[in-house]
Each structure stands twice: as C-alpha cells, then as structure tokens.
Structure 1
C-alpha cells in the first residue's frame, strides 16, 4: 500500500537542479595558460600519455582535439576513419604538439594504439609492454601475437621518457553500458598492470552529446545530465577508477571553428592528466633515491 509507487509517477527530470561538478566555463584562457606554462622539474623530461580503449571511442579524435585547442585552430594530425567500425590505428605512434609557431614542443606527448576489440584488437600484452616503454615508434600491432623480445621494434633498455606516466582509457559514453565482457576484462587487465607499475589512470568519456539531448543543446549541461552521471558512476564502480579521475569530453568532429565551452572541457581533462603524470614522474624519482 503505502510503499507502492504509482504507475503514473513521472520519471526524474533529465537535468539535476545543480551541477554535481563545477567547472570555470568562462576561464578558458586561464586553463590554457596553465597547460602552456607546465614544465617538468627535470630538464629534458617528457611526460608520456598512453591512450587505449574500445575501437571507435575517439582516441585519435581526442589527440586531434587537444592539438586544435593548443594551436588555436582546427588540426588533424592523428588520422581518423569515419567510414569503418574497424580500428584505424595500426601502428604505435607518438604525437608531439608544437608550441605556437616556434620550433619548440610541449613537454608531454600522446601515444595512440590500436583499439581494443574482442577479436581483431590490440594484444593486451602489447599494451603492457608499451606501459613499460618496451615498444618502439612505428611498431605495427598484430592482434594474433605480442611483440617479442627479438623483434627490432622491441626496446630492450627503455629510458624514463620511453615509459608511460599516465594511462588514459577512452570510453564512448553512448555505448559504455553495452560493452562486451571481453572488452571490460581487457580494460581491467591493463588497469591492473598500470596500478602495479604505479602509473595513474584516467578515463575520458567521449560523445556525451549523444547521451543526452540537453547536452547536445548546451554542452554546459554536461555536469547536470542525470544519465551521463549514472553511466560514469557505473563505469567507476565496475573498473575501480574514482569519479574524480573520469572526465566527459566532447571531441571536435563536425565543427570547423573552435568553441570556448568545448575547449574548457578538453583543457580541464588535459590539466588533470598532466598533474597526475607530473606526480607519477616525481614519485618514480623519489622512490629511486
């Protein structure tokens, strides 16, 4: 009787009354300056960020979006394929970002790898080797076998710059709840290896505008959307990645001009990724003393 819900009871509204996470939408320039000013404590140190995740989640698009924001114009260095559901990234590739029109580059780099797929995706063992710095630039991933130690693309003596300092799992927010058990197991396996190596992990939720019409109408609703928050919470519970390490980001896709609010989400995620990587570098150095 008293505890029964009425059949005609209306569902909760799609937007929360208040955002569950605050972001300074009007302070894009401050966030950009923070990233631009970042310098590792050691001269020549390079912060390496490795992206992995399901095929088609937007790993390459995230790299392009970051480069677009930092360069102040649309940029497409990491190749993206919109015509196939197959993974487009075949080789281990490092992306450096030029600082303005100078000959200098930002002290952080991105590595893109073949997507995780139940049958044809990157070998989990190859991802683990990449985390340790054993994979050389240009290595062509083979879903059937891992990189062997006698292969010319195997780096036998990785330096501190070769090793990964932040592992970023890129997730399609629109399909996160329908990912296969096989993909989820691979993500957990890679995350476990990263944890044992002391590498911090971040998750990027792409395509949030496809989850909620209110986000599509106004990207500022991203931290008010009930459905997106629930998806992030579910992923956090399944993978063990804390909510404060999960960031929704809208990659540039159809746009031909930059948008301050889209930039703000990208820069917010990038700033946190840099901070986590910086802490990883410093911890590694202090633990060797």
Structure 2
C-alpha cells in the first residue's frame, strides 16, 4: 500500500513518469450563419458564405447533390478562421442550382444549402402599370356592330386554373376580390365546373366561358367534341355536359344555326407550369384535337401558362422578373413543344391565390395576356364580318 502511494507521489513530481492526459474532442461543428440564396445577373460574380462555431473542420461542397468539381479560374473555395466561402466567377446559366456545404470533424457533421439563381437577359417586356391597360380595355369597341360581346372559351386539364383566371380578371375589373367562380379541388382533382357557364367581366363587352376539365378517362371530364361544338356556337349557356355523350343535332338544346354572337371568338388553352411535364399524353392529344378544330374554323388560339410562381423561386419573390427566368423560359418551351404552339402565343400568368389585396404586378401580367386575346378575338370578327359582306 505504501509502495503504491510512493510511486504515485513520485510520478507527480517526475513529469517523465506522469500518465498521458486524454486529448480533448473538438466541438461538434455547427453553423453560426448559414448560406443565403443569391440572385445574380448573367456574367456577374457571386459568393456563398457562412460562419461556423469552430475552424477545426473539413469542408466539402456539392452542387445539385453531386460533388462540386471546381474549375480553375471559375471556382474558388476557402476557409478563413471560422468563415467558409465559395466564389463563382462570371455566373452562367449552368451555374444555377442548389449548392450545399458540409462541415465535418471527429465530433460530427452539419450541412446547409442555398440556391443560386441566374437572371438571363429579359426576352419579353411587360407594362407594369395597370391603369393604362384597364383604361384601354374599358374604352375598347368591338369592330363588328353585329356582335355584342367578345367570347372566350377556356379549356385545359382539371386544376389548371381556368376558373381562377376568370376570378382574377373579374377581380381586376370589378375592383374587389371575386371568388364566386369555384375552382377545382387540389386534393380531389375533380372539377367544380359541370356546365357550359358564362361569366361577364364588369361593364366591358368581354365574356368568358368555362368548361369541365379534360381528363384521361373517356367517362370523366369534358368530351373534346363538346368543346368543338361550343367553338362552333352549337352549345347554349348553362348546358350540362355529359362526359360520354357529347351534344349533337338530336339534342333539343343544340343551336342548329349559330350566329357570330353564338360562336367563340378566341380559344384559350390553360396549362399549369408546374405540371406540364407530368401531363398525360392522352390529355395533351385531346387539347391538340381541339386546337386543330379551332384552326380549321379560323379561331385564334393562345395559351395561358398558370402557376408560374410554383416553378421559379425568383418569380415567386418578384413576378416582374418572370421574363428573366431561365426556368420559366424552359417551361414555355416545353409547353410549346407538347402542344405545338409558337412561343409568342404563350403567356405566363399568375392568379390570385393567397393574396387578399390588389397586386398591381399580378394584375399587369394578366392584363398583358388579356389584351392580346381581346385583339385576337376582334381580328377574328373582322375577318368573318368581311367574309359575310363578300357573300352578300
């Protein structure tokens, strides 16, 4: 016992005999500040930076969940004390995406991510002042004296935003939130619209017609023949659609000899930007069939691409950046390819959804598209009126 005590005391006095002390573990790595999303113009430099609680870490970077391959002269990564950074020189479209940094030591690891969004040169301009457009539309006069109102038919898949477009346009012209046009349920995917329903717009001579959404199954949704008959003017207001039995001459409601007042003057295809990639080919084919029939009738056609804020963070934050978004242009191109419609006939729009107060930028975007279909419809009436005069 005394010998052991002696050895212990001797060890304390003699550092050479002292037992080694345990090496303290480093602090578990944490972020004091995280990476922030960056929006940058094409050609500008951009830096992602964050702060950690310790400098004793190894750092790895990923782009779109893949290890970042740094290019000399393009990327520079570094660590200064507890600060970590990634520099990207002369940002290009290919630099857009999610970047993730991971810090690690023997005590653990932590990660954080941020988006880099690269603005491309604006390829289409919008008048972001609503009053001049509202005034011009309110003073608009239909070129054909025999036609009381311009008639627009909206069609597209269930949940595309057809009814929401009507609500938004009525909100703009009637000066208050309009929500009387029921919209498709996002949960059930079922259309509230069952009839060929007419909606007037304030005190201007414009009328929208809403129809059931197109679906894959022949026993569900509106039949393409019903939409084609509506284009021709054979379908009366409030006619209730029957999915498997399109209206024909044997139906007592069928308008046998329609006038220009009964016909549709412009067909508006409605496509959701966030779902265009997932749309069934059968639904796309139905829309192509309807568009082909409209072309034979000489009826102008445009596409309203809705839900743009759901596919682009930059647009979600600031709708005036819409035509500087690579993502929006990609979706427009995809829409053009799938439907077979030219890019200049596609208009990205945003409907009122969560907003409860007027939004001038949202209104202006919709008014730009609306003004286009008004002039297209009136041009259709001019052509048809001239043809009638020539026959007479």
**TM-score scaled by structure 1?**
0.92
Structure 2 partner of 1:151: 251
Greater mean deviation of Cα atoms: 253-262 or 16-25: 16-25
Structure 2 partner of 1:124: 224
Structure 2 partner of 1:84: 188
Find the partner of 1:136 among 205, 213, 236.
Answer: 236
Q: What are the superposed Cα offsets for residues 83-128 of structure 1, whole Å, 9 maximum, x if unpaired?
A: 53111110001111222xxxxxx21100000000001111011111
Question: 1:33, 1:164 → 2: CA distance?
Answer: 24
Aligned residue for 2:134, secondary structure, equals helix
Structure 2 partner of 1:246: 346
Aligned residue for 2:271, secondary structure, equals strand
Structure with more helix by fraction? 1
Structure 2 partner of 1:108: 206
Structure 2 partner of 1:60: 163
Find the partner of 1:31 among 121, 126, 133.
Answer: 133
Aligned residue for 1:51, secondary structure, equals strand
Find the partner of 1:75 among 164, 171, 178.
Answer: 178
Question: 1:282, 1:269 → 2: CA distance?
Answer: 20
Question: 1:47, 1:182 → 2: CA distance?
Answer: 30
Which of 1 and 2 has greater Rg? Answer: 2
Aligned residue for 1:41, secondary structure, equals coil
Greater mean deviation of Cα atoms: 129-138 or 27-36: 27-36
Aligned residue for 1:49, secondary structure, equals strand
Question: 1:201, 1:70 → 2: CA distance?
Answer: 23
- C-alpha root-mean-square deviation of aligned residues, in Å? 1.6
Deviation (angstroms), 1:135: 0.4
Structure 2 partner of 1:259: 359
Deviation (angstroms), 1:269: 0.6
Structure 2 partner of 1:102: none
1:277 pairs with 2:377? yes
Deviation (angstroms), 1:44: 5.1
Deviation (angstroms), 1:8: 5.2
Structure with more strand by fraction? 2
Question: 1:139, 1:17 → 2: CA distance?
Answer: 47
Unaligned runs of 5+ in 1: 1-5, 100-105
Structure 1 partner of 2:144: 42
User: Contact 2:154/2:267 (CA < 8 Å) preserved in 1?
Assistant: yes
1:95 pairs with 2:199? yes
1:184 pairs with 2:284? yes
Structure 1 partner of 2:313: 213
Question: 1:44, 1:287 → 2: CA distance?
Answer: 14
Structure 1 partner of 2:266: 166
Q: What are the superposed Cα offsets for residues 164-216 of structure 1, whole Å, 9 maximum, x if unpaired?
A: 11000001000011111101100110000000000010000111000011111
User: Contact 2:276/2:334 (CA < 8 Å) preserved in 1?
Assistant: no
Unaligned runs of 5+ in 2: 1-67, 72-91, 97-116
Question: 1:222, 1:113 → 2: CA distance?
Answer: 28
Question: 1:122, 1:81 → 2: CA distance?
Answer: 14
User: Contact 2:144/2:381 (CA < 8 Å) preserved in 1?
Assistant: no
User: Contact 1:15/1:221 (CA < 8 Å) preserved in 2?
Assistant: no
